[in-house]
Structure 1
Amino acid sequence: MNIQNRVIDIIAAQAVLEPSDVKLDSTLEDLGIDSLGLVESIFAIEEEFDITIPFNANEPSDSDFDISTVAAMIKGIEKLIADVS
C-alpha cells in the first residue's frame, strides 16, 4: 500500500468514514475532524511512518508542514519520509 492510501486510511478511521469518502481536496474540517482528532491523526501517522510531524503544523505560516487539505498532508508526509531516508 502506498503512502497516499495509508494516510487516507488513517484519516478515514479517525473521521469514522470509508476511505473512499476521503478526497484529496478535503479539509480535516470537511471530514469532521476536530483539533483532538487532528492530534490523534498525527500520532497515528507518526507511528505508521516512523516520522515526527512538526509541533506547529497547525500554524501553516510557522511550519513547513501544511495540513490544509489531505493532499497537502500527504505531500508533507512524503517529504518527511524522504528527509529521513
Structure 2
Amino acid sequence: MTETVRDRVLAIIAEQAVLEVGDVTPELTLEDLGIDSLGLVESIFAIEEAFDIQVPFNANDPASSEFDISSVGAIIAAVEKLVKDQKG
C-alpha cells in the first residue's frame, strides 16, 4: 500500500507533537497538539524534505504566509496542492 500525502503529513505532525498518528486529526490545530512556533518550523522543514517541495511560509510572519496552517486538515490540503503543482 502506498503512503498518501495525508498519511505522511499526519506522521510528521504526530512526530513533532510526540503523539501517535491516530491522535492527530484534520480538525485539530497545531496549538491543540501542543506544537509551538519552533515545532511548526521543524514541521515545515520536515514536510519540505519529505516531499521535495518549497513551502511558502514565513516563520517571522506566519499570518502573511500563503501556506495555511489554521488546522491539520488545512496543512494537508496545502501540501497536496504544492505536490500536485510541482508535478505539473
Q: Write out aligned runs for 1:2-21 (5 A).
A: 2-21=4-23
Aligned to 1:46, which of 45, 48, 68? 48
1:27, distance to aligned residue in structure 2 (A): 0.2
Q: Percent identical across equivalent pairs?
A: 63
Bigger relative contact order, structure 1 or 2, given CA contacts below 8 A and separation 6+?
2
Q: CA RMSD in A?
A: 1.1
TM-score, structure 1 as length reference: 0.92
Question: Amino acid of the residue matched to residue 74 of structure 1?
Answer: I
1:40-66, Cα deviation, whole Å (9 max, x unpaired) = 00000000000011133721xx33320
Q: What is the aligned length?
A: 83
Aligned to 1:31, which of 9, 30, 33? 33
Unaligned runs of 5+ in 1: none
Unaligned runs of 5+ in 2: none
Question: Amino acid of the residue matched to residue 19 of structure 1?
Answer: V
Q: 2:9 touches 2:47 (CA, 8 Å); kept in 1?
A: yes
Question: Amino acid of the residue matched to residue 12 of structure 2?
Answer: I
